[in-house]
Structure 1
Amino acid sequence: MTDLHPVRRALISVSDKTGLIELATALSARGVELLSTGGSAKAMRDAGLAVKDVADITGFPEMMDGRVKTLHPNVHGGLLALRDNADHVAAMDEHGIGGIDLLVVNLYPFEATVAAGADYDTCIENIDIGGPAMIRAAAKNAAFVNVIVDVEDYDKLLGDMEQHDGATCPKFRRKLSQKAYARTAAYDAAVSNWMASQLDLVAPKRRAVAGELKQTLRYGENSHQKAAFYTDGSNRPGVATAVQLQGKELSYNNINDTDAAYELVAEFDPANGPACAIIKHANPCGVAVGATLTEAYQKAFDCDRTSAFGGIVALNQPLEADTAKKIVEIFTEVVIAPGASDEAKEIFASKKNLRLLLTDALPNPRTPIMAYKQVAGGLLVQDKDVGSVDVEDLKVVTKKAPTEQEMADLLFAWKVAKHVKSNAIVYVKDGATVGVGAGQMSRLDSANVAAAKAGRMAEELGLDESPAKGSAVASDAFFPFADGLLEAAAAGGKCVIQPGGSMRDEEVIAAADEAGLAMVFTGMRHFRH
């Protein structure tokens, strides 16, 4: 028997009617018999097409508000029967089961229903049962049956049928089968994870993870690694939902760094003023607030001009012309913002390699979502770090208390430290980072790195002294010894924010008092690995 199998009979039952009439018309023109249910059948009949109701071949009407309509041997036998198996063919003949060569189904919009914030019962009613059952049956029988679950495959189906005179080839059917199983797996993952969230299950026995391909990447972190970008269906504002207006294709590292940048800048409410974050290799090299977006960008850039070259710029307000002019003065990989003026777009248009990404909103830094990290043989799963502190959460532990301005800088530094790889030390002055020490093996080293960067900044800007003089210092975790704290003090730090909780807290507090520092404890740490 040839591997090419003609499409003579199709069952079409779709919730998304996009492209339905065009597909059905093309199939009908080839003499394909159309079977359908409910709204799909009505839409095709309204277009003048001949359609047979599934109820006519099952002998049962749709019932229970449409919950039961396709779960029947005359449907599943038509999908599962092996056409080259004599026993299967005999069973079809005996029971009057006609073969179904093509199944076109897209599922009830469960994910969209959940994303819209529907109540529990509405979400339950949008769990498709018959659709996944038919999809899995057809996909199992890919030797003979075509299964379409994406509108984007309609034209591909018609193209393969055109190429093979109304039949389809095995490679095409197998590709459809793989996509079909991936779709039902993703659908079941969405349902099971939603149910776990409804039950407040932190660690269900099994957790399914699924994604939809957004982009095949040229390579991964390095040129010898293959990579792709998948979306998770959450529609969280950011790099996954942004519209790219210009520039070459995003790379793996671009996407990773842009996500880090936008999540950081979202910590600063645009209602409180403009903010800018510049990221390099997933770490902030400069973060600032300002009276204008241009000022915020300049202050962030001045923190570490060397690292800012080829970096990622994230803004918490729409990009305008003045800021765009400053950004294009150096090479920048990506700019992401919640909008941009026409003038800013025109300025960027002259920089063909600069990617401009625009979103409709900032991500909410307090919205709990799941974070995943792969390890050998498994996944680590945790809540995303959405922790934050306000002034009233802080405990002054030194004899000296921070001034109002120092307290503002401490809270600013704490927000930034949350997004710096551990061990993290951040120096902040007047609403801008002036030194960032990231990813060192000891907190003392991080303090040294941050101080060195501040010193280099002074040289580049022609300052008389390091901008770390009089700065607020944040540490993402407690100081296990006084040495890191004293290094920050030697660099010019005047106040410190840290979680506290070390066995040597009293020793560290005493060292702070002796150095004339003000220090506050948060009771919360921000490790970031």
Structure 2
Amino acid sequence: MTDLPRRVTRALLSVSDKTGLVDFARALAGHGVELVSTGGTAKAIAAAGLPVKDVSEITGFPEMMDGRVKTLHPKVHGGLLAVRDNDEHKQAMAAHGIAQIDLLVVNLYPFEATVDKGGSYEDCIENIDIGGPAMIRAAAKNHDDVAVIVESSDYQAVLDELAANAGATSHGLRKRLAAKAYARTAAYDAAISNWFAQQLKTDAPDFRAIGGRLIQSLRYGENPHQTAAFYATPEKRPGVATARQVQGKELSYNNINDTDAAYECVGEFDAKRTAACVIVKHANPCGVAEGSSLLDAYRKALACDSTSAFGGIVALNRTLDAEAARAIVEIFTEMIIAPEASEEAIAIVAAKKNLRLLLAGSLPNPRAAGLTYKSVSGGLLVQSRDNAVVDDMALKVVTKRQPSEAELRDLKFAFRVAKHVKSNTIIYAKDLATVGIGAGQMSRVDSARIAARKAQDAAAELKLAAPMTKGSVVASDAFFPFADGMLACIEAGATAVIQPGGSVRDDEVIKAADDAGIAMVFTGTRHFRH
């Protein structure tokens, strides 16, 4: 290994993204660098009046097989891999007429973009780059002598070093560029392998690779002593990873996690059908509601638990308007995320300089397939996204009493919310709004009691004669293993229950519901969320 600067005498450029290419090539030529290129890249450089050699002049072979074979040649890879201070390598170069390549500039065929825009199977296959990754890996391996650039954002850093070091690059820069190059090819191969798994409908391929591009370095993780960063994966799902931040402080790890939870939940509510608002604190909804307007939905959601809503995340399923914005900024809120916002609403939020406003462009589709990931010690848990939607479920009334039309409407609403609350989950709902949420308890009975207690606290704050759980419906994310959890809900005032069913004691639970005169609906689908 050498820490010496290496002068750049020859560069090979082969890029699908031509951003900044001509200016960069012109600057290289100004430093006396010989330019070698391929196909469309060579044409773009030549059209700018710059001298450039086609790689076929170096290899003695033309591009062939629709461009599939052009750089896979010893005179290319020898020029990249030869160790400059190795006498045997020098002799081999001289014997075979191999000239060194000191700078490689390659960005890969746009495979991810082709998949993202719905390209055919054949188009996706044709956009799998072979020569590019091979050259990138060769140059990165030999970073003691060769600099490698995989995206145009690094052009300036290289030019700065050439200017500062009389046309040479430092070992430190070459090492950083090499690390980035390997990460890029790894992410590229991950995208291809996961696409193949989808095509083959393989849920558990023998190897699972995950790659992402840095969106943001974070100040710290969940706690100040933890480091963190935020990466985008190839999946273009609307949400915090794709949103435009209009204003406010830099996002934190916890902001991102909570905002994702809020936006995924609000995505359950079709914006064409209803306005909806979700307020999240520590990744759990503390208030969810549908309404005639965003303002109406926000006020109903806030009424569920205004104490927890302080410093929370507000997610909306429609364009943020001025009325809703004025109400939201009345209390301390960390972040608002919505598909869009009116100019008047943006101006209102701007008065709170630290309040973050994110515009995601559209809502996540709750029915869309996809994968979710969770790390465990020494491993990675991968599963398909929970894309079950209550509207698609065959609901079964299992009690003597049928739910009323209003109860059934609220039952479906409550089960939508239960999908996005940490297990064990109990949701009380009334008039398309949560009125009590019990989340993440070890016992379902405790979740029922905590949710009821929250409703009592809200009633005291709102000066109501009785908690809003009186006459409410209740949703459970999983079956009641015993009747006690359901009886706690009935004690709180619930008149109808929705749950998956499937317990060995279902008959006992159904009998208890019949004895109490309440309606119960089974979904057949569980929504555990850990």
The TM tier, using the shorter chain, reads over 0.9
* Residue aligning to 1:197: 198
Cα distance, 1:304 vs. partner? 0.2
* Residue aligning to 2:46: 45
CA distance in 2, matches of 1:19, 1:356: 32
CA distance in 2, matches of 1:525, 1:165: 66
Deviations 1:38-94 (A, max 9, x none): 000000010000000100010000000000000000000000000000000011011
CA distance in 2, matches of 1:67, 1:475: 56
* Residue aligning to 1:154: 155
Structure 1 residues 475-490: aligned runs within 5 Å = 475-490=476-491
Give the secondary-structure state (helix, strand or coil) at the position aligned to 1:216. strand
State whether residues 3 and 171 of structure 2, in contact with CA within 8 Å, keep that contact through their aligned partners in structure 1.
no
Cα distance, 1:235 vs. partner? 1.6
* Residue aligning to 2:22: 21
* Residue aligning to 1:278: 279
CA distance in 2, matches of 1:482, 1:232: 44
Structure 1 residues 153-192: aligned runs within 5 Å = 153-192=154-193
Structure 1 residues 46-85: aligned runs within 5 Å = 46-85=47-86
Alignment identity in percent? 66
Deviations 1:264-295 (A, max 9, x none): 00000001110000000000000000011100
Say if 1:391 and 1:143 are closer, same or farther in 2 by CA, change over 3 A. closer
Q: CA RMSD in A?
A: 0.8
Give the secondary-structure state (helix, strand or coil) at the position aligned to 1:333. strand
Give the secondary-structure state (helix, strand or coil) at the position aligned to 2:417. helix
* Residue aligning to 1:513: 514
* Residue aligning to 1:125: 126
Structure 1 residues 14-413: aligned runs within 5 Å = 14-390=15-391, 393-413=394-414
* Residue aligning to 1:501: 502
Choose 456-465 or 251-260, whichever is displaced more.
456-465
CA distance in 2, matches of 1:467, 1:93: 86
Q: Which amino acid aligns with 1:80?
A: L
Cα distance, 1:160 vs. partner? 1.3
CA distance in 2, matches of 1:74, 1:293: 65
* Residue aligning to 1:11: 12
Q: Which amino acid aligns with 1:429?
A: K
Cα distance, 1:391 vs. partner? 7.6
Between Structure 1 and Structure 2, how many residues are aligned? 529
Give the secondary-structure state (helix, strand or coil) at the position aligned to 2:288. strand
CA distance in 1, matches of 2:327, 2:218: 30
CA distance in 2, matches of 1:273, 1:413: 15
Cα distance, 1:2 vs. partner? 6.6
Q: Which amino acid aligns with 2:343?
A: D
Give the secondary-structure state (helix, strand or coil) at the position aligned to 2:458. helix
TM-score normalised to structure 2 length: 0.99
Give the secondary-structure state (helix, strand or coil) at the position aligned to 1:409. helix
State whether residues 341 and 359 of structure 2, in contact with CA within 8 Å, keep that contact through their aligned partners in structure 1.
yes
CA distance in 2, matches of 1:191, 1:420: 33
Deviations 1:381-426 (A, max 9, x none): 1001111223861100000010001000000000000000000000
Give the secondary-structure state (helix, strand or coil) at the position aligned to 2:115. helix
CA distance in 1, matches of 2:202, 2:279: 37
CA distance in 2, matches of 1:190, 1:180: 16
CA distance in 1, matches of 2:393, 2:280: 30
* Residue aligning to 2:443: 442
Give the secondary-structure state (helix, strand or coil) at the position aligned to 1:379. strand
State whether residues 393 and 523 of structure 2, in contact with CA within 8 Å, keep that contact through their aligned partners in structure 1.
no
CA distance in 1, matches of 2:161, 2:416: 55
State whether residues 366 and 389 of structure 2, in contact with CA within 8 Å, keep that contact through their aligned partners in structure 1.
no
Structure 2 unaligned residues grouped into runs of 5+:
none
CA distance in 2, matches of 1:422, 1:123: 40
Say if 1:504 and 1:102 are closer, same or farther in 2 by CA, change over 3 A. same
Give the secondary-structure state (helix, strand or coil) at the position aligned to 1:493. coil
Give the secondary-structure state (helix, strand or coil) at the position aligned to 1:512. helix
Q: Which amino acid aligns with 2:141?
A: K
State whether residues 247 and 350 of structure 2, in contact with CA within 8 Å, keep that contact through their aligned partners in structure 1.
yes
Deviations 1:226-280 (A, max 9, x none): 0000000212110001000111000000000000000000000001110000000
Cα distance, 1:359 vs. partner? 1.4
CA distance in 2, matches of 1:486, 1:236: 40
Give the secondary-structure state (helix, strand or coil) at the position aligned to 2:56. helix
Give the secondary-structure state (helix, strand or coil) at the position aligned to 2:187. helix
* Residue aligning to 2:472: 471
